[in-house]
Amino acid sequence: MRLLDAVVQGCLLGGQYALFAAGLSLMFGVLKVVNLAHGDLGILAAFAAIGLAAGAGLPLALAVGVVLVGMLGIGAALHAGLLARTTGALPQISMIATFGLSVVIGNALQEVFSADPRALDLGWFGTAGVSLGGISVGLLPAAVLAVAVLALTGLHLALTRTAFGRRVRATADDPGTAALVGVDARRTYLVVTALAVGLAGLAGVAYAASSLVTPLAGPSRLIFAFEAVVIGGLGSLWGTLLGAMVLGVAQSVGSVVDPSSGVLVGHLVFLMVLATRPAGLLARARVRA
C-alpha cells in the first residue's frame, strides 16, 4: 500500500518534471540546442504571473494567460536575438550563451523581486485532495500531470500530423535540404523556440503554485528536466514523458526506503540509464522531432 502510494505520488511529481522537460526536449530535438536558461525562463514566468496577480491585482487566469503569451514573445526574441546567431556554430557556443542568459535572468529577478520566496496562490484548489481507494491525490498535482500529458500529446500530434510538423521535422533532419524545397528554417526555429519557452512558462507557473519560488531556483529545475529528457531519450517526446515518470517514481519510492536518499535514487537511475542505454529508454521508437 505504501509502495503503491509512493508510485502514485511519484507519477504526479513526474508530471511536474515532464512539463519542465517538454520544452527542453523540443528545443534539443529541433535546434540541437541545450537551453541552460530553460529553468530560469520558467521562474521568470512564475514571478511575472505572481507580479501580475498579486501585485497588479489581475484575475489569476488572465495573469497566467498574459504571461504565457509574453513567454511566446520572449521565446521568439530569444531565437532572433541570440540563438539565430549561434546555431550552426559549435554547439558549445549556444550552450554558453544560454548559460549566460540563465545567470542574467536569475540575478535580474533577484534585483527586481528581492530574495523573498513567493508563491502563486490558487486558493482552495492548491491544497485540495481526493482519496482514491485510500490513496490521497492532490487536485493540483493531478491537474499538472494532465496538462503535461496534454501538452506532450498535442506537440506529438502537431509534429506528426500537420504541415507545420512536417516542416519542423524536415528542418530538424537537414535544414539545408529543407531550405532547398522552400522551408524557411529560420522561421521554423523561431516558432519552435517560442513554443519551447512558452512551455517553460507553463511549467514555471505550475511550479510556483505547488511550492515556493525564489529568483535563483531555475538551475535546480533544469537539472530534473534535463535528467527526464536524457532518461527518456534525447529528442523523443514520449520518451520525455516516460523519463519524467521514471525520475518521479524513483525519487518517491527511494524516499520510502530511506527519506534521506530519495533525490539520490533519482540521480542513480539517471546514471544507470546513461551507462546502459546512453541513447535513452525510447531511443528506438523515437519520434524524429
Partner 1 sequence: MTDSSSTPANTPGPLPVRAAMDRRSLLRGAAALGITGAAGSLLAACGGVKSAGGSSSAAAAGGTQTLRIGYVTPSTGFAAGFGEVDPFVVEQVTKAVSKGLTIGGTTYQVRIEVKDSQSDPQQAAKVANELIASGVDMLVTSSTPETVNPVADAAEAARVPCLSTVCPWEAFYFGRGATPDKPFTYTYHFFIGVDDLAVVYKSLWLNGVPNNKKVGVLWPNDADGNAIRAGLGPILTKAGLTVVDPGAFPTGTQDFTSIISTFKKSDVEVVNSFAIPPDFATFWKQAAQQGFRPKIATIAKTGLLPEQVEALGDLGPGLTAGVYWHPSWPTRSALLGLSSADLAAAYEKSSGNQWTQNLGTTTALLETAISALVSSGSPKDRTAVANALGKTSIDTVVGRLDWTSGPVKNVVAEPLVGGKWVEAEDGPFPLDIRIVENSGYPSAPVAAEDTALS
Which residues of this chain interact with partner 1, rule CB under 8 A? 2, 5-6, 9-10, 13, 16, 36, 99, 102, 110, 114-119, 121-124, 126-129, 131, 136-141, 210-214, 216-224, 248, 251-252, 255-256, 258-264
Q: How far is the CB of 96 from partner 1 (least distance, A)?
A: 12
Q: Return the number of the residue (77 or 119) whose C-beta is nearest partner 1.
A: 119
Q: Return the number of the residue (123 or 182) whose C-beta is nearest partner 1.
A: 123
Distance CA 230, CA 275 (A): 12
Count CA within 13 A, CB hemisphere, residue 69: 5
Residue 135 in 3-state DSSP?
strand
Q: How far is the CB of 288 from partner 1 (least distance, A)?
A: 28
Choose among 20, 3, 22, 11: nearest CA to 246.
Answer: 11
| CA of residue 86 relative to chain centroid, distance | 22
Length of the chain: 289
Q: Return the number of the residue (39 or 175) whose C-beta is nearest partner 1.
A: 39
Q: How far is the CB of 18 from partner 1 (least distance, A)?
A: 13
Q: How far is the CB of 143 from partner 1 (least distance, A)?
A: 11
Q: Return the number of the residue (175 or 218) whose C-beta is nearest partner 1.
A: 218
Q: Return the number of the residue (191 or 225) whose C-beta is nearest partner 1.
A: 225
For the chain, the maximum distance between any two Cα atoms, rounded to a whole number of angstroms, is: 59
Which ranges constitute the DSSP H helices of the chain?
A: 2-31, 38-50, 60-78, 84-86, 91-113, 124-127, 139-161, 163-173, 175-180, 185-210, 218-232, 237-257, 262-276
Q: Return the number of the residue (190 or 265) whose C-beta is nearest partner 1.
A: 265
Q: Return the number of the residue (106 or 175) whose C-beta is nearest partner 1.
A: 106
Place of cell 504565457: 68
Q: Return the number of the residue (6 or 31) whose C-beta is nearest partner 1.
A: 6
Q: How far is the CB of 245 from partner 1 (least distance, A)?
A: 13
Distance CA 254, CA 249 (A): 8
Q: How far is the CB of 256 from partner 1 (least distance, A)?
A: 4
- Amino acid at residue number 204: G
Residue 217 in 3-state DSSP?
coil
Choose among 192, 274, 174, 275: nearest CA to 233.
Answer: 274
Q: How far is the CB of 169 from partner 1 (least distance, A)?
A: 30
Please give the angle made by the CA atoms of 230, 82 and 224, to the nearest 5 degrees.
Answer: 25
Q: How far is the CB of 286 from partner 1 (least distance, A)?
A: 26
